[in-house]
Amino acid sequence: PKEVFLKDYKKPDYLFESVDLKFQLGEDKTIVSSNIAVYPREEGASSPLVLNGSDLKLLSIKVDGKDLKMSEDYKLDLRHLTLVSPPNGAFKLEIVTEIDPIHNTSLEGLYKSSGVFCTQCEAEGFRKITFYQDRPDVMAKYTCRIEANKEKYPVLLSNGNLIERGDLEDGQHYALWEDPYKKPSYLFALVAGQLESRDDSFVTCSGRKVALRIWTPAQDVPKTGHAMYSLKAAMKWDEEVFGLEYDLDLFNIVAVPDFNMGAMENKSLNIFNSKLVLASPETASDGDYASILGVIGHEYFHNWTGNRVTCRDWFQLSLKEGLTVFRDQEFSSDMGCRPVKRIADVSKLRNYQFPQDAGPMAHPVRPHSYIKMDNFYTVTVYEKGAEVVRMYKTLLGATGFRKGMDLYFQRHDGQAVTCEDFYAAMCNANGADLANFLQWYSQAGTPCVKVVSSYNAEAKTFTLKFSQEVPPTPGQPVKEPMFIPVAVGLLDSTGKDMPLSSLYSNGVQKTISSGEPVYTTVLHFNKKEEEFVFSNIPERPVPSLLRGYSAPIRLDSDLIDADLFFLLAHDSDEFNRWEAGQLLSRKLMLSLVSDFQQQKPLALNPSFVDGIRSILSNTTLDKEFISKAITLPGEGEIMDMMPVADPDAVHAVRIFIRKELALQLKQELLAAVTNNRSPGPYVFDHENMARRALKNTALVYLATLNEPDLTQLVLSEYKSASNMTEQFAAMAALAQNPGQVCDEVLADFYNKWQHDYLVVNKWFALQAMSDAPGNVENVRKLLNHPAFDMRNPNKVYSLIGGFCGSPVNFHAKDGSGYKFLGEVVVQLDKINPQVASRMVSAFSRWKRYDEDRQALAKAQLEMIVSANGLSENVYEIASKSLA
Ligand code: HT7
Ligand code: ZN
């Protein structure tokens, strides 16, 4: 397989002015005609024109109306069509191809999902539709004519405006769409099928009325209300926060059940995985509602960050994805509860991105190379990329950040640009010098920062001494220091923030505040080692470091347990309050893991129980915050901190602590259940979600005790639940204890919901994640369940993905979990390489485990790499994991 390198980037020799496409959609084959106006980027150029193409049958090719001859005029191989010597100057290129969407199970290019034709072109799917320069820096204006049977495909959609429609002979009809904005091929979209829409409208800040339509099969239209609410909220938010207005008179969203990722931001025709559109209180959980809000926002926000200003090449992916994730995080924060959202985002980063950054697939936010671009839609590009954007805001302030965004759009609207262009806009708009900040784009690995504090009572100074280390990652053995913004506050002995007046670092005295008191300041730590001295500090403070998690780093401080309990009780920065609790939990879990490994009896520190008790009974705290603060760090996070990951020990310790807490805090947990029952019908707002979150967390704790009266309590919550959030949480609580009750509830749930594939996926996932010994056999059986289908990515993510996310069974000592995944990956790769490569990633951390497990996992990876006809997608992940 060929590796592509960022350093080899070259501008295209030819550009496309316009593209007129015609699709004749058939039950058997589809014919695609394309008519491209080509011109050389520089006058007089006469190099060959290389077009990408994959799985295409070429029917004809003409230049300026004249048929071309194979070998003489053009060459064809499995991936390219090359025009040997195109005319000098501008010319028309007409190409007709035949494609087979019905048998396209890769869900890339044009395919059929439940009878609906739809497309997925990002990253390189357009080349499965027609021969084209399939790269984001080739931007053109498109028209798209769709012809299809009117009865089977009454709705015909593409990008832009509908300019003509009508009937044809033989029961066919057509629609002609025109997109007035230049776009790269990855934003092209087409949909044809039997769909109905929920219609609404939005009046933009300049008074234009935009028609909004969400398309689904007729029976699902009632479940699109929340998606429409989310879309309108996102449109308003982008106007208010960034001054960005929607630029067409129509915005369509289509929901399809078969989709490799969450959604796709095609210009004015977003295509969504149904699970991120359809919701009703009975069938969707609070988590689903929140995801829909965030992803509808995310795809809508791409209209400016991604579509109007796009990426020069795929290495720049984080330019649009990191920025758009940051924007959707901010949107969800503003619509809900900021600290709770921040906690959720940081947990995701720690649980998924940190392990990636420490493993064989570690790559910078802007990767240097790839074999298959699809493999680089990663938590590093998305989530760490969003943290990089957040750091600009932390360093420049809200107003400075907005100035930078304004300049970015002013300079680059309609262009395909790079991460340096974004950096330059941020710096230039603020006259700022962010020195080595660009390292965040090119160096992989999570920086480890150490901080030591000291107080000088005589001088009344408080000193923080920082040092940093960026660990080596594949291909990057030695690292430069990073620019790390550290937001700091200092607490006095009553727990109040001290006003910060001045700071000394690098031989320079800086005034923090001479007027209004300032309680948090951002230190610019960009050297290997650096000292910051606060003056006018009247007593020894407890520092609150990295407030709001101001940089994506691992912080190792000299805070002692007493400081952490103090911060947990008093910090005005709610994120750091939660963080203090997590630090205590992590320390406790690691020390109990060591006891467990040495076969010592496990015992819980009473002050830890008291800390949790005081959080649980604090009536002034946000309830969702409480729910998060009493939840222990995930098993993956703890394993990540061990020299050799021990899934059995970590699992046993987590279960032990949860049971012990449940036992000692039973009364408080029971009160959390009874005080937080639904007062009425389901409402999606923060207050109600927070109440449900606390009640559900309390139920999960109580159910760990497996006592008959508590089981009855949870069972009655399951039976009386009037929404999916509470019904599913009660079932999950009961599922912790395999046995008759658990089996009965699982059967009851399936009977109730077998008609709803999205709910059935939750049922698959819950069983897949079970820690019951030997659960692999149950999961194998579920592969043959009539509701399971390997061709549907959501089902694979629920059952196979769920299984791999459960450490005890996936990492079973006998290798049964690894063997199962190995078999599935080989089978799945033949159906859908993108989904198969996501699954094979579960093996990537195999070197973190003991020798026996390493040998078992390695054998599976070797078996996969040597499988016949393996896709490049799976090859890239499996071979890099083995390296
Ligand atoms: N920009 C979208 C990316 C995407 C994608 C990438 C590879 C293969 C399939 C895909 N479906 C969607 C999604 C986003 O907004 O991030
Ligand atoms: Zn995106």
**Could you tell me the distance, in angstroms and rounded to a whole number, from the CA of residue 264 to the centre of ligand 2?**
7
The pLDDT assigned to 155 comes to 99
Q: Is the CB of 838 under 6 A from ligand 1?
A: no
Kind and range of the H or E run holding 691: helix 686-703
Residue having the nearest C-alpha atom to atom 11 of ligand 1: 261
Q: Is the CB of 288 under 6 A from ligand 1?
A: no
Same CATH fold assignment for domains 1-194 and 448-552: yes
The CATH class given to the 310-442 domain equals mainly alpha
Domain regions of the chain by residue span: 1-194, 310-442, 448-552, 754-883
* Helix pair 225-242, 317-335: axis angle to 10 deg: 100
The pLDDT assigned to 514 comes to 83
Q: Which residues contact 594 (CB under 8 A, 6 or more apart)?
A: none
Q: Is the CB of 189 under 6 A from ligand 1?
A: no
Q: Is the CB of 834 under 6 A from ligand 1?
A: yes
**Could you tell me the distance, in angstroms and rounded to a whole number, from the CA of residue 567 to the centre of ligand 2?**
36
Q: Is 865 helix (H, G, I), strand (E, B) or coil?
A: helix
In the predicted model, residues of the chain with pLDDT beneath 70 are none
Please give the DSSP secondary-structure letter assigned to residue 530.
E
Q: Is the CB of 264 under 6 A from ligand 1?
A: yes
Q: Catalytic residue, from 122, 299, 530, 635: name it.
A: 299
CA dist 658 and 608 (Å) reads: 12
Ramachandran category for residue 763: left, alpha or beta (phi over 0 → left; psi -120 to 50 → alpha) = alpha
Closest ligand by atom to 261 CA? 1
Mutate which of 107, 121, 122 for ligand 1? The one with the most ligand atoms within 8 Å of its CB, which is 122
Q: Taking ligand 2, which is a single-atom ion, which protein residues have CB atoms under 5 Å away?
A: 321, 324
Q: Is the CB of 258 under 6 A from ligand 1?
A: no
Residue having the nearest C-alpha atom to atom 5 of ligand 1: 122
Any catalytic annotation for residue 27?
A: no
CA dist 580 and 567 (Å) reads: 6
CA dist 736 and 650 (Å) reads: 16
What are the percentages of helix, strand and coil residues in the chain, rounded to 5?
Answer: 45, 20, 35
- Our measurement of the distance from residue 564's CA atom to the centroid of its chain's CA atoms, rounded to an integer in Å, reads 31
Closest ligand by atom to 327 CA? 2
Mutate which of 104, 126, 264, 373 for ligand 1? The one with the most ligand atoms within 8 Å of its CB, which is 264
* Helix pair 561-570, 606-616: axis angle to 10 deg: 10
Q: What is the greatest pairwise CA distance in the chain?
A: 94
Chain position carrying tokens 């480890």: 448
The pLDDT assigned to 513 comes to 87
**Could you tell me the distance, in angstroms and rounded to a whole number, from the CA of residue 261 to the centre of ligand 1?**
6
Domain 1-194 listed as CATH 3.40.50.620: no
Q: Is the CB of 261 under 6 A from ligand 1?
A: yes
Q: Which residues contact 138 (CB under 8 A, 6 or more apart)?
A: 12, 15, 16, 132, 184, 185
**Could you tell me the distance, in angstroms and rounded to a whole number, from the CA of residue 417 to the centre of ligand 1?**
19
Closest ligand by atom to 305 CA? 2
Q: Which residues contact 114 (CB under 8 A, 6 or more apart)?
A: 217, 256, 257, 258
Q: Is the CB of 106 under 6 A from ligand 1?
A: no
**Could you tell me the distance, in angstroms and rounded to a whole number, from the CA of residue 470 to the centre of ligand 1?**
30
Atom of ligand 1 nearest to the CA of 107: 9
Q: Is the CB of 729 under 6 A from ligand 1?
A: no
**Could you tell me the distance, in angstroms and rounded to a whole number, from the CA of residue 311 to the centre of ligand 2?**
12
Which residue type is seen at 255?
A: A
- For 754-883, the fitting CATH number among 1.10.10.970, 1.10.287.3510, 1.25.50.10, 1.25.40.10 is 1.25.50.10
Atom of ligand 1 nearest to the CA of 265: 15
**Could you tell me the distance, in angstroms and rounded to a whole number, from the CA of residue 299 to the centre of ligand 1?**
10
Q: Is the CB of 829 under 6 A from ligand 1?
A: no
DSSP result, 714-761:
HHHHHHH--SHHHHHHHHHHHTTS-SHHHHHHHHHHHHHHTT-HHHHH
H helices present in 467-571, as ranges: 561-570
Q: Which of 533, 391, 506 has the alpha carbon at shortest distance from 452? A: 533
The pLDDT assigned to 401 comes to 99
Mutate which of 128, 271, 295, 377 for ligand 1? The one with the most ligand atoms within 8 Å of its CB, which is 377
Chain position carrying tokens 């994730």: 325
The CATH class given to the 448-552 domain equals mainly beta
For residue range 331-374, list pLDDT tens digits in order.
Answer: 999 999 999 999 999 999 999 999 999 999 999 999 999 999 99
The pLDDT assigned to 522 comes to 98
Atom of ligand 1 nearest to the CA of 302: 15
Q: What angle do CA 189, 194, 199 make, to 5 degrees?
A: 75
For residues 286-311, b (16+ Cβ closer than 10 Å) or e, as one string? bebbbbbbbbbbbbbbbbbbbbbbbb
End-to-end CA distance of the chain, in Å?
Answer: 16
Total residue length of the chain: 883
**Could you tell me the distance, in angstroms and rounded to a whole number, from the CA of residue 325 to the centre of ligand 2?**
7
Atom of ligand 1 nearest to the CA of 298: 15
Q: Is the CB of 120 under 6 A from ligand 1?
A: yes
Which residue type is seen at 531?
A: E
Kind and range of the H or E run holding 843: none
For residue range 103-117, list pLDDT tens digits in order.
Answer: 999 999 999 999 999
* pTM score of the predicted model: 0.99
**Could you tell me the distance, in angstroms and rounded to a whole number, from the CA of residue 122 to the centre of ligand 1?**
6
Q: Is the CB of 717 under 6 A from ligand 1?
A: no
CA dist 566 and 281 (Å) reads: 40
